[in-house]
A and B are shown apart, each in its own frame.
Chain A
């Protein structure tokens, strides 16, 4: 007990007001005001125990620390005289797993999380079969989708980024995973997980645990990705393409699989389709990144993703659309999404592959690229190219004000206002007439809170797209300049602060009866 000191936090240094600190000298003790820990004892339930008492003698000059080691007696008749169970007063250290006791510890403490057997998921049929044998088995949310031999696998990274093939896909759980896999050209036909057959081989059971009805996985589409990243959609998609070695390359390597499962309300799977992205690897490739996703659609429905109901949800894309000529209603489709330029690792504007990222509600984004201007570039052409780059191919005209605005409600759609500003507005000189190229696009989305105070919904009020142009001055031939091009999206909350309404102050309504002062009035 004399050696225990809870306030001794600094090693080899004196802690302030810590009377039990062994690093403190008498001179430092004289500077203390009180002792933060006056007494240190063992378990107070013991009948007799040692106690270390620390106190400061302030009368002496300089103050000194007094240390006493006494026997503290517990007067309670139920104090512990002897404890023959030595571990009573300390926490039990758990058993260290070794190779001998691992199985026993796993059985004792492991549950479904750590279970490696597939059988542990089959607990339900025993209870189901005992209660209602006539009811057919059906898939429920989260249940692994079963195939003839095991289950539909969605390889995903487990601890590191390497693919683990034992991850089952859950029913109605939309998932998207990405993981890396070791490949080599020599073994490309032997590694199972890079061939299409691995993913469409076994058929899915239509109902849970019933082997009678099976659904084959059909190949919906195949996209072939070339070595430099360009993707092409193949026209004929019934052909199964297996990895083959061709000219020191291995082609038809699966780079991505996208499953689409159609289900009914009864929990039955009626259709399964898979879309593949196939690529090629060279002799130098050591690993590839595969991406997998699975999505579920109910039969006879056409899901339209909403961005909120009714107000926009932060993180969901802003819905936008066009108003075709002669038709008063805007039509919405995925290609009319509001997108901005996506920055690529290769920052050259003109070499950008046209990658665009959708604008998500509430997320301010900024992106850009660098434009290298040489003397040989023609200004008008450059201006048009940059405008296309900043705005994209299908820049929408209308933005939905609510997350669930329907195309029929014309008033629910907000038109995008376009503004043009010039960088050198302040300089009034002749060079205004020289060619202007757009250097930045800023989309400002103003939104407000709508509805009840308790549950306000986000509503877009105003969208402004501002294109800023700068003058392109003539360069002497042979020289080149780099101009940064930026595009940004800003969401501004213009909701007026809520004004609380107060009820009228209660008035005291006291009226004396009219004959209160009777004899006198």
Chain B
């Protein structure tokens, strides 16, 4: 089992909680300050919650796969990472209002995902062989 991957999962989890709360707070702030019609607010909030669920699942599977040295959960986690990355890009570029803080947080998260996927591929390669 890869120690660096496990550390990364742990850091990712902590950071994601911060990211989730910050993004939620900013959406609330945007809805008060800017004109945010309900038809735009609802999809943004829904996607944020879906992302949270996806992230929790992904981190659990990845950490389980890493610790038990099985490729299947790790592979699933990799696939879910792609989904999470897409959602992160959504919050980075395609949201209704993208603030500078959104960009900074999203960039850090995306960087973390990138690092994670590399390490996961390495771990899968290590376990398969």
Residue A26, interface by CB 8 Å:
no
| B9-47 residues at the A interface, CB under 8 angstroms | 26, 29, 34-37, 40
Residue B51, interface by CB 8 Å:
no
Distance in angstroms between the alpha carbons of A79 and B97 in the assembled complex: 10
Residue B79, interface by CB 8 Å:
no
Residue of B29, B37, B98 touching A84 (CB-CB under 8 A): B98
Residue A83, interface by CB 8 Å:
yes
What per-residue 1/0 map shows which CB atoms of A35-78 lie under 8 Å from chain B? Answer: 00000000000010000000000000000000000000000111
Residue B49, interface by CB 8 Å:
no
Distance in angstroms between the alpha carbons of A88 and B96 in the assembled complex: 9
Q: Count residues of A near B (Cβ-Cβ below 8 Å).
A: 13
Shortest Cβ distance from residue A80 to the other chain B in the assembled complex, whole angstroms: 6
Q: Count residues of B near A (Cβ-Cβ below 8 Å).
A: 19
Contact residues in B for A76 (Cβ distance below 8 Å): 100
Distance in angstroms between the alpha carbons of A345 and B103 in the assembled complex: 81
Flag if A79 contacts B98 (CB, 8 Å): no
Shortest Cβ distance from residue B25 to the other chain A in the assembled complex, whole angstroms: 11
Flag if A88 contacts B98 (CB, 8 Å): no
Flag if B100 contacts A79 (CB, 8 Å): yes
Contact residues in A for B95 (Cβ distance below 8 Å): 82, 84
Shortest Cβ distance from residue B113 to the other chain A in the assembled complex, whole angstroms: 20
Flag if B94 contacts A84 (CB, 8 Å): yes
Residue A85, interface by CB 8 Å:
yes
Distance in angstroms between the alpha carbons of A482 and B94 in the assembled complex: 89
Closest to A81 in B: B98
| B100-118 residues at the A interface, CB under 8 angstroms | 100-104
Contact residues in A for B36 (Cβ distance below 8 Å): 85
Residue B99, interface by CB 8 Å:
yes
Flag if A77 contacts B98 (CB, 8 Å): no
Residue B72, interface by CB 8 Å:
no
Contact residues in B for A83 (Cβ distance below 8 Å): 96-98
Flag if B97 contacts A85 (CB, 8 Å): yes
Closest to B95 in A: A84
Residue B7, interface by CB 8 Å:
no
Q: A84-B94, A88-B35 are in contact. Are A78 and B99 (CB under 8 A)?
A: yes
Distance in angstroms between the alpha carbons of A249 and B98 in the assembled complex: 80
Shortest Cβ distance from residue B104 to the other chain A in the assembled complex, whole angstroms: 7
Distance in angstroms between the alpha carbons of A217 and B40 in the assembled complex: 61
Closest to B33 in A: A45
What per-residue 1/0 map shows which CB atoms of A80-108 lie under 8 Å from chain B? Answer: 11111101100000000000000000000
Distance in angstroms between the alpha carbons of A125 and B36 in the assembled complex: 40
Closest to A74 in B: B100
Residue of B93, B97, B100, B103 touching A88 (CB-CB under 8 A): B97
Q: A85-B40, A88-B34, A88-B35 are in contact. Are A77 and B97 (CB under 8 A)?
A: no
Distance in angstroms between the alpha carbons of A84 and B96 in the assembled complex: 5
Distance in angstroms between the alpha carbons of A82 and B99 in the assembled complex: 7
Shortest Cβ distance from residue A74 to the other chain B in the assembled complex, whole angstroms: 8
Flag if A80 contacts B101 (CB, 8 Å): no
Distance in angstroms between the alpha carbons of A85 and B102 in the assembled complex: 16
Contact residues in A for B98 (Cβ distance below 8 Å): 80-84
Shortest Cβ distance from residue A42 to the other chain B in the assembled complex, whole angstroms: 15
Distance in angstroms between the alpha carbons of A521 and B37 in the assembled complex: 89
Q: A88-B34, A88-B35 are in contact. Are A82 and B101 (CB under 8 A)?
A: no
Residue of A77, A84, A85, A88 touching B101 (CB-CB under 8 A): A77
Closest to B29 in A: A78
Closest to B34 in A: A88
Flag if A78 contacts B96 (CB, 8 Å): no
Q: A85-B40, A88-B34, A88-B35 are in contact. Are A80 and B97 (CB under 8 A)?
A: yes
Flag if B100 contacts A82 (CB, 8 Å): no
Contact residues in B for A77 (Cβ distance below 8 Å): 99-101, 104
Closest to B37 in A: A85
Residue of A81, A85, A87 touching B103 (CB-CB under 8 A): A81
Contact residues in B for A78 (Cβ distance below 8 Å): 26, 29, 99-101
Contact residues in A for B99 (Cβ distance below 8 Å): 77-81
Distance in angstroms between the alpha carbons of A120 and B104 in the assembled complex: 56
Contact residues in B for A87 (Cβ distance below 8 Å): 35
Q: A76-B100, A77-B101 are in contact. Are A82 and B93 (CB under 8 A)?
A: yes
Shortest Cβ distance from residue B37 to the other chain A in the assembled complex, whole angstroms: 8
Shortest Cβ distance from residue B15 to the other chain A in the assembled complex, whole angstroms: 18
Distance in angstroms between the alpha carbons of A78 and B29 in the assembled complex: 10
Closest to A82 in B: B98
Distance in angstroms between the alpha carbons of A87 and B35 in the assembled complex: 9
Shortest Cβ distance from residue A503 to the other chain B in the assembled complex, whole angstroms: 55
Contact residues in A for B104 (Cβ distance below 8 Å): 77
Closest to B96 in A: A85
Distance in angstroms between the alpha carbons of A87 and B34 in the assembled complex: 11
Contact residues in A for B96 (Cβ distance below 8 Å): 83-85, 88
Distance in angstroms between the alpha carbons of A78 and B98 in the assembled complex: 9
Closest to B93 in A: A82
Flag if A81 contacts B35 (CB, 8 Å): no
Interface residues of A (CB under 8 A from B): 47, 76-85, 87-88
Interface residues of B (CB under 8 A from A): 26, 29, 34-37, 40, 93-104
Known: A79-B100, A81-B98. 8 other contacts (CB 8 A): A78-B101, A79-B99, A80-B97, A81-B100, A81-B102, A84-B94, A84-B97, A87-B35
A to B CB contacts below 8 Å, 28 in the list: A76-B100, A77-B99, A77-B100, A77-B101, A77-B104, A78-B26, A78-B29, A78-B99, A78-B100, A79-B100, A81-B98, A81-B99, A81-B103, A82-B93, A82-B95, A82-B97, A83-B96, A83-B97, A83-B98, A84-B95, A84-B96, A85-B36, A85-B37, A85-B40, A85-B96, A88-B34, A88-B35, A88-B96
10 closest cross-chain pairs (CB), A and B: A82-B98, A81-B98, A85-B96, A77-B101, A79-B100, A78-B99, A81-B103, A77-B100, A81-B100, A47-B100
